[in-house]
Amino acid sequence: MQTDSSFTFVLFGGTGDLSMRKILPALYEAHRAGGMLADSGKIVAVARHVAGRADYLEWVNEHVKPHVSKNGLDETAWASFLDRIEFVKIDLGNPEDFTLLRDAVSGLPGIRVFYLATGPSLFVPICHALASVGLNENSRIVLEKPLGYDLKSSNAINDAVGEIFAEEQIYRIDHYLGKEPVQNLLALRFGNVLFEPLWRREWVESIQITIAEELGVEARGDFYDNTGALRDMVQNHLLQLLSIVAMEPPHSMDSDSVRDEKLRVLRALKPIDPRDIGKVAVRGQYHAGVIRGTAVPAYATEPGVKQDSTTETFVALKVEIENWRWAGVPFFLRTGKRLADRVAEIVVNFRAVPHSALGASALRGGANRLVIRLQPNETIRLYCLAKQPGEGMNLASVHLDLAFDRFFREGQMEAYQRLLLDVINGRLALFVRRDEQEAAWRWVEPILNEWAASNKPPKPYAAGTWGPAAASAMLAQHGTCWLEEEN
Q: What is the pLDDT of residue 41?
A: 94
Chain-centroid distance of CA 443 in Å reads: 18
Label residue 403 by pLDDT band (50, 70, 90): low
338 inside domain: yes
Give the residue ranges of the annotated binding site.
48, 91-92, 145, 175, 179, 213, 232, 337
The answer to whether residue 68 sits within a structural domain is yes
Structure confidence at residue 310 (pLDDT): 95
Instruction: Evaluate whether residue 372 is within a structural domain.
Output: yes
The Cα 437–Cα 149 span in angstroms is 12
- Could you say which of 123, 144, 165 is where a domain stops? 144
> Which of the pair, 6 or 354, is modelled with greater confidence?
6
Share of the chain above pLDDT 70, in %: 95
Instruction: Decide which of 144, 165, 197 is a domain's last residue.
Output: 144
Domain end, chosen from 99, 123, 144, is at 144
172 located within any domain: no
Question: Domain holding 59: CATH number?
Answer: 3.40.50.720
Tell me: do 183 and 114 sit in the same domain.
no
Helix-then-strand count for the chain, H and E: 18, 17
Residues 182 and 140 in one domain: no
Which CATH number do you get for residue 278? 3.30.360.10
Residues 348-363 pLDDT 10s: 999 988 877 776 666 5
Q: What is the pLDDT of residue 364?
A: 63
Q: Which of 261-265, 331-335, 382-386, 435-439 has the lowest mean pLDDT?
A: 382-386
Backbone angles phi, psi at 299, to 5 degrees: -55, -40
Please write down the HEC assignment for all residues of 404-417: HHHHCCCCCCCHHH
Co-location of 208 and 315 in the same domain? yes
| Total domain count, the chain | 2
Beta carbons within 8 Å of 1's beta carbon, 6+ residues apart:
35, 36, 421
Range of the domain at 13: 7-144
Give me the percent of the chain exceeding a pLDDT of 90. Answer: 72
* Residue 423 domain-assigned (yes or no): no
Task: Judge whether residue 2 has pLDDT over 60.
Answer: no
Global pTM reads 0.92
Determine, yes or no, domain membership for 156.
no
Evaluate whether residue 112 is within a structural domain.
yes
Tell me, what's the pLDDT at 409? 60
CA distance 53 to 43: 12
Are residues 139 and 184 located together in one domain of the fold? no
Q: Do 17 and 116 have their domain in common?
A: yes
- Looking at the structure, do residues 319 and 455 belong to the same domain, yes or no? yes
pLDDT digits (tens, 9 = 90+) for 438-468: 999 999 999 999 999 988 899 999 999 999 9
Q: Is the peptide bond before 146 cis (omega within 30 degrees of 0)?
A: yes
How crowded is residue 392: how many other Cβ atoms within 10 Å of its Cβ?
7
Residues facing 387 on adjacent strands: 395
- Give the model's pLDDT for residue 1: 45
Q: What mean pLDDT, rounded, does the chain reach?
A: 91
Closest to 399 in 3D by CA, of 368, 440, 421, 363: 368
Lowest mean pLDDT among 65-79, 137-151, 246-260, 418-432: 65-79
Task: Let me know whether 91 and 186 are in one domain.
Answer: no
Say yes or no: 138 and 235 in one domain.
no
Specify whether the CB–CB gap between 111 and 135 falls below 8 A.
no
- Answer yes or no: do 222 and 329 share one domain: yes
Task: Specify the pLDDT at position 22.
Answer: 95
Strand 204-212 and strand 331-336: the pairing is parallel
The Cα 245–Cα 196 span in angstroms is 11
pLDDT at position 284 over 50? yes
Q: What is the mean pLDDT of residues 115-136?
A: 94
Same-domain pairing of 343 and 437: yes
Residue 155 within any structural domain of the chain: no
Q: Residue 287: is its pLDDT beyond 50?
A: yes
Q: Which position has the higher pLDDT, 24 or 404? A: 24
200-208 average pLDDT score: 96
Q: Which residues lie closer than 8 Å to 333 by C-beta, 6 or more apart?
A: 208, 209, 210, 234, 238, 239, 242, 315, 316, 317, 319
Q: Which residues are catalytic?
A: 237
Same-domain pairing of 187 and 86: no
Q: Return binding residues for substrate.
A: 175, 179, 213, 232, 337
Residues 189 and 99 in one domain: no
